[in-house]
Amino acid sequence: MKKIYFIIAILTFALFFSQKQKLSDYYKFKKNYENYPENDVRAFDYLNRYIKLAKENQDYVTLIQGYKDAVFYSPSPKDKLKYADSTIIAANQTQNAEIISDAYLGKGIIYYFNYKKFKPALDEYIKAYEYSENTQNDYLKNEILYHLGTVKSYLGYYDSALVHFNQANQYFQQNLLVSAHPNVIFNNKKGYYNSLHRIIVCQRHLKHYKVLDSLINIGLFQTQNNPDYQQEYGYFLKEKGIEAFRKKQYHNSIHLLRKSIKPIIHINDFAWATVDYFYTGKSYQALNNSPKAIIYFQKVDSVFQKHNFILPELRDSYETLIDYYKDKNDSEKELYYTKQLLKADRIITKDFAYLSSKIHKEYDTKILQEKLKETTSWGVWIVVSLACIAAMLMLLLIMKEHNEKKAKINYKILEEKLLTSIYTAAEKKNIQIIDEKLETEKCPLNENLIENILAKLKCFEEKNGFIESGLTINKLAHKLRTNSTYLSQIINDHKGMNFNRYLGELRINYITNKLYTDKIFLSYKIETLAEKCGIASRTNFSNLFTEINGMRPTEFIKKRQNDVQQNEKSNIINIQFKSDQTSSGRLNLSKED
């Protein structure tokens, strides 16, 4: 028996030592390449040995990680796809639904991001979705939900896509507050910023302009100085530039779009780069600078030539190019861009026909069928009864629920904006200042004069001079010892808006902060609040507050009052709890004595 025990102990020790040695070897290989940047082929000197060792040991989980690393470090999209296929093969060996789902999702992302091929990407997403149903991994499910939303967004189903993006965004945002490994936090932040960007895109297409400034500024404020999120910062700058174009602030739009293109090109995201080029061209076109506009529309075409991909909203660039060369009597280029337009239309139409049927038949129909299966277990008569009751209630409550939900979302957006101090002068300066090259295209002003007036405007803002009732641009120009023409141009150029809008935003931002930070303001009537920030009319105040903040002042006051009451109750409970703890501690101490 002693010999048997001894042999068992030796074998156990050998097995443990062998396993430890394997882990050590994996670590030795990985630590040599894990700090290389993405698409760096040098990683394969060690990565190939890592994969080989995992194959020899039939360690499929480790092998999958090796293939994922190979996707990350491969500079060639073709090689990325090859390693993604290897990841799926290894994942199937594990018979683990979560691992298999993640592998299919990875392949779909390569088709989408590196090729912008929505058809095969959607096929992989649906496979990933089917496997994810049998898992408890909420992060994976929301990641798949996000990517399915991108397909719906491309198809133009912005309402449906927005539901996906809002759900994913809410999940990622909630998990930012949870203590976790730095890599998990990083992934959740990425998910949060990218879903926020997609929400902005959907809201723009749905023409929900009132919420755009708040959402864009939140994204810019949180990403602008963080080197880990420069890609996302570029996306938010792009949307800021497009919004400036819509507001007819064409010089500011060009500045923001030119600034955004660098981080977007850096990651080779050619799809969003074409959107950037398109709106830059549209801005130059609005400024009657056709030669520069044409350059940017031609950049859209160059991407289309290379990748055979175009977003539907960019189709107008070809119509502009055709008209331009028709006016120039350049029949050769007119014919070329006509052919390109026809080619683009064929691709868009073909993609829409395939993707639209696929997303509804194989994804949305599955979800509806699952819901029907759940209801049939209750019995047909119960379902019919509940359906009738629900229909009646829906007719009575749908409008109320819609308004409350909208107000809640707008309040949350506005609260986050207030908490992150999005109204600071420094932030506005970073986002809206126009570069020196573009300023030369306008009526030149003395540099010292500009700096002097900007310094006075800063003082004017800091001392809340804008709450003076009846303030006009002539009165303010007189106070700042300049003329109204100079002042108007500087406000347009450096604040990105006209004087009336500038004054209105200062006043509404001032009163909104007061309502959020000072309880006494919550008891004032709307007329009083208007007067406190320098606006003469209750109606003008309410309209401007709603336009800027996305919700009526009465809605904001009501929700803020509820928050204040809940906080006060929470503080009372905490004080009572601490008091009970102290009493309990004293009691225990006396017992020990």
pLDDT of 202-225, one tens digit each? 999 999 998 999 999 999 999 988
Instruction: Check if the beta carbon of residue 210 is closer than 8 Å to that of residue 247.
Output: no
What phi, psi does 133 have (nearest 5°)?
Answer: -60, -25
Answer yes or no: is 116 within a domain: no
Which residue, among 230, 321, 242, has the nearest Cα to 275 in the 3D structure?
A: 242
Q: What is the pLDDT of residue 531?
A: 92
Q: What is the pLDDT of residue 382?
A: 47
Q: What is the pLDDT of residue 495?
A: 83
Q: How confident is the model at residue 16 (pLDDT cuts 50, 70, 90)?
A: very low
The residue behind tokens 């800091």 is 462
The pLDDT of 253-271, averaged and rounded, is: 92
Q: What is the DSSP string of 176-215?
A: TTS---HHHHHHHHHHHHHHHHHHHHHHHHTT-GGGHHHH
Answer yes or no: is 271 within a domain: no
* Distance separating alpha carbons of residues 12 and 593, to the nearest angstrom: 52
The Cα-based distances of 255 to 19, 249, 428, 434, 528 in angstroms read: 57, 10, 14, 6, 40
The per-residue pLDDT for range 239-252, each reduced to its tens digit, is 999 999 999 999 99
Q: What is the pLDDT of residue 281?
A: 96
Percent of the chain exceeding pLDDT 70 equals 76
Q: Give the residue with greater pLDDT, 362 vs 39.
A: 39
Q: What is the pLDDT of residue 443?
A: 45
Instruction: Check if the beta carbon of residue 125 is closer than 8 Å to that of residue 140.
Output: no
The pLDDT of 400-429, averaged and rounded, is: 52
Percent of the chain exceeding pLDDT 90 equals 44
* b/e sequence 199-214, b meaning 16+ C-beta within 10 Å: bbbbbbeeebeebbbb
Answer yes or no: is 466 within a domain: yes
If one counts the domains in the chain, the total is 1
The per-residue pLDDT for range 440-494, each reduced to its tens digit, is 334 456 788 888 899 999 999 999 999 998 899 999 998 888 888 889 889 988 8
Within the chain, what is the greatest distance between any pair of CA atoms?
Answer: 105
pLDDT at 133 over 90: no
Q: What is the DSSP string of 485-542?
A: HHHHHHHHHHHSS-HHHHHHHHHHHHHHHHHHH-GGGGGS-HHHHHHHTT---HHHHH
The pLDDT of 560-581, averaged and rounded, is: 69
pLDDT at 584 over 50: no
pLDDT at 160 over 60: yes
pLDDT at 570 over 80: no
Q: Give the residue with greater pLDDT, 553 vs 435.
A: 553
Instruction: Check if the beta carbon of residue 223 is closer than 8 Å to that of residue 233.
Output: yes
Q: What is the pLDDT of residue 577?
A: 54
* Distance separating alpha carbons of residues 526 and 557, to the nearest angstrom: 10
Q: What is the pLDDT of residue 439?
A: 39
Q: How confident is the model at residue 412 (pLDDT cuts 50, 70, 90)?
A: low
Q: What share of the chain is helix, strand, coil (3-state, %, to 5)?
A: 85, 0, 15
Of 131-140, 191-200, 306-315, the range with the lowest mean pLDDT is 306-315
Instruction: Check if the beta carbon of residue 410 is closer than 8 Å to that of residue 549.
Output: yes
Answer yes or no: is 316 within a domain: no
Compute the chain's Rg from CA coordinates: 30
* Distance separating alpha carbons of residues 186 and 424, to the nearest angstrom: 27
The per-residue pLDDT for range 303-314, each reduced to its tens digit, is 999 988 888 888
**pTM beyond 0.85, yes or no:** no
pLDDT at 529 over 50: yes
Instruction: Check if the beta carbon of residue 508 is closer than 8 Å to that of residue 533.
Output: yes
Within 10 angstroms of residue 38's Cβ, the number of other Cβ atoms is 11
* Distance separating alpha carbons of residues 148 and 140, to the nearest angstrom: 12
Angle, helices 380-419/212-223, rounded to nearest 10 degrees: 60
pLDDT at 80 over 80: yes
The per-residue pLDDT for range 332-388, each reduced to its tens digit, is 999 999 889 888 888 777 776 666 665 655 666 555 445 444 434 444 444 445 545
* Distance separating alpha carbons of residues 476 and 460, to the nearest angstrom: 9
pLDDT at 73 over 70: yes
pLDDT at 399 over 60: no
Q: How confident is the model at residue 100 (pLDDT cuts 50, 70, 90)?
A: very high
List of residues 6+ apart from 486 with CB closer than 8 A? 445, 449, 453, 477
Q: What is the pLDDT of residue 218?
A: 94
Answer yes or no: is 249 within a domain: no
Structure tokens given for 9: 């102990």
Which residue, among 34, 76, 84, 29, has the nearest Cα to 56 in the 3D structure?
A: 29
Q: What is the pLDDT of residue 427?
A: 40
Which residue, among 284, 214, 217, 283, has the nearest Cα to 244 in the 3D structure?
A: 283
Answer yes or no: is 171 within a domain: no
pLDDT at 57 over 60: yes
Per residue, what are the HEC states of 365-422?
HHHHHHHHHHHHCCCHHHHHHHHHHHHHHHHHHHHHHHHHHHHHHHHHHHHHHHHCCC
* Distance separating alpha carbons of residues 170 and 192, to the nearest angstrom: 8
Q: Give the residue with greater pLDDT, 210 vs 571.
A: 210
pLDDT, averaged across the chain: 81
Q: What is the pLDDT of residue 258?
A: 95
Q: What is the pLDDT of residue 536?
A: 85
* Distance separating alpha carbons of residues 520 and 359, to the nearest angstrom: 52
Within 10 angstroms of residue 344's Cβ, the number of other Cβ atoms is 22
The Cα-based distances of 47 to 59, 86, 89, 345, 467 in angstroms read: 15, 14, 18, 43, 64
Which residue, among 421, 487, 486, has the nearest Cα to 460 in the 3D structure?
A: 487
Instruction: Check if the beta carbon of residue 135 is closer than 8 Å to that of residue 98.
Output: yes
- Specify burial of residue 151 (Cβ count, 10 A radius: 0-12, 13-18, 19+): buried
Q: What is the pLDDT of residue 51?
A: 92
The pLDDT of 187-196, averaged and rounded, is: 94
Which residue, among 318, 282, 315, 280, has the nearest Cα to 298 in the 3D structure?
A: 318
- Strongest mean pLDDT among 98-102, 131-135, 148-152, 427-431: 98-102
* Distance separating alpha carbons of residues 293 and 301, to the nearest angstrom: 13
Answer yes or no: is 455 within a domain: yes
Output the CA torsion sign for 483, 485, 489, 491.
Answer: positive
Structure tokens given for 8: 């068992």
pLDDT at 290 over 90: yes
> Which residue range(s) make up the domain with 476?
435-575
CATH of the domain at 545: 1.10.10.60
Answer yes or no: is 535 within a domain: yes
* Distance separating alpha carbons of residues 417 and 214, to the nearest angstrom: 7
Q: How confident is the model at residue 415 (pLDDT cuts 50, 70, 90)?
A: low
Instruction: Check if the beta carbon of residue 147 is closer than 8 Å to that of residue 105.
Output: yes
Q: What is the pLDDT of residue 307?
A: 87
Instruction: Check if the beta carbon of residue 196 is closer than 8 Å to that of residue 218.
Output: yes
Which residue, among 170, 172, 233, 163, has the nearest Cα to 202 in the 3D structure?
A: 163
The pLDDT of 316-339, averaged and rounded, is: 91
